[in-house]
Structure 1
Amino acid sequence: MAKAPYIEEGRLRHLLKVAAISGESPLRNVALLTTLYGTGMMLTEIARLPVRAYLNADGSIRVKSCVDARIAYNGKERPVYWSNAKVAKAIDAYLTYRIVYRHGLTPMATEYRGLDPHGPLFLTGDGDPYKLIERRTGSGGASYSCDSLSQFFRKLHLQAGIEGASAMSGRRTFAVRLANKGFDLRHINELLGHETLTATKRLIDADPVRLGLIVAGVI
Structure 2
Amino acid sequence: MAQAKTLTTVELDQVLRYANSRQYPERNRALILTSFYLGLRVAEIALLKLGDVVNEDGSIKNEIRLAGSQTKGGHPRTVYVPEKLKPEFQAYIKTRHVKDCSMPLFHTDNKLGFSPNGLCVWFFHLYRNAGISGASSHSGRRTLITTLANKGIGVRVLAEIAGHRSIAVTQKYIDANPEMMRNAMNLI
Do both proteins adopt the same fold according to a TM-score greater than 0.5, normalized to the shorter chain?
yes
The structural deviation recorded for 1:205 is 4.3
Q: 1:154 to 1:208 in 2, by over 3 A?
A: farther
Deviations 1:134-171 (A, max 9, x none): xxxxxxxxxxxx22211110111122210121011111
Is the Cα contact below 8 Å between 1:6 and 1:207 reproduced in 2?
A: no
1:70 partner SS = helix
Q: Do the aligned partners of 1:176 and 1:207 also contact (CA within 8 Å) in 2?
A: no
Which residue in the other structure is 1:178 paired with?
Answer: 148
Which residue pairs with 1:200 in the alignment? Answer: 170
Superposed displacement of residue 41, structure 1: 0.2
- Per the alignment, residue 130 of structure 1 pairs with 114
2:19 match: 19
TM-score by length of 2: 0.91
| Residues 3-18 of structure 1 mapped to structure 2, 5 A cutoff | 3-18=3-18
Q: CA offset at residue 88 of structure 1?
A: 1.6
User: For residue 70 of structure 2, what is the aligned residue in structure 1?
Assistant: 71
Counterparts of 2:178 and 2:83, CA distance in 1 = 25
Stretches (4+) displaced over 3 A: 205-209
Q: Output one character per residue of 1:47-86: Cα deviation in whole Å (capped at 9) or x when no partner.
A: 011111111111111112222211111211111112232x
2: CA distance, partners of 1:209 / 1:15: 22
Q: Kindly provide the amino acid, as one letter, of the partner of residue 110 in structure 2.
A: D
Structure 2 unaligned segments of length 5 or more: list them.
none
- Preserved CA contact (<8 Å) 2:5 2:139: yes
Is this contact kept in 2: 1:185–1:201, CA < 8 A?
Answer: yes
Q: Which amino acid aligns with 2:44?
A: E
Q: Which residue of 2 aligns with 1:39?
A: 38
- Matches of 2:143 and 2:179 in 1, distance apart? 11
Alignment check: 8 A CA contact 2:37 2:82 kept: no
Question: Aligned Cα RMSD in Å?
Answer: 1.9
Structure with greater helix percent: 2
- Asked whether the equivalents of residues 62 and 82 of structure 1 are also in contact (C-alpha less than 8 Å), the reply is yes
- Structure 1 gaps of 5+ residues are 100-104, 106-114, 132-145
Supply the AA of the counterpart residue of 1:46: I
Report if the CA contact (8 A) 2:39-2:141 is conserved.
Answer: yes
Q: Percent identity?
A: 34
Whether the 8 Å CA contact 1:51–1:116 is kept in 2: the answer is yes
* Corresponding residue number in structure 2 for 1:50: 49
Tell me how far apart the structure 2 counterparts of residues 19 and 130 of structure 1 sit (CA, whole Å): 17
| Aligned-partner Cα distance in 2 for 1:38–1:148 | 21
The question of 1:116 aligning with 2:86 is answered no
Measure the CA separation in 1 of the matches of 2:123 and 2:178.
22
What is the match of residue 94 of structure 1? 92
TM-superposed CA distance for 1:208, in Å, is 5.6
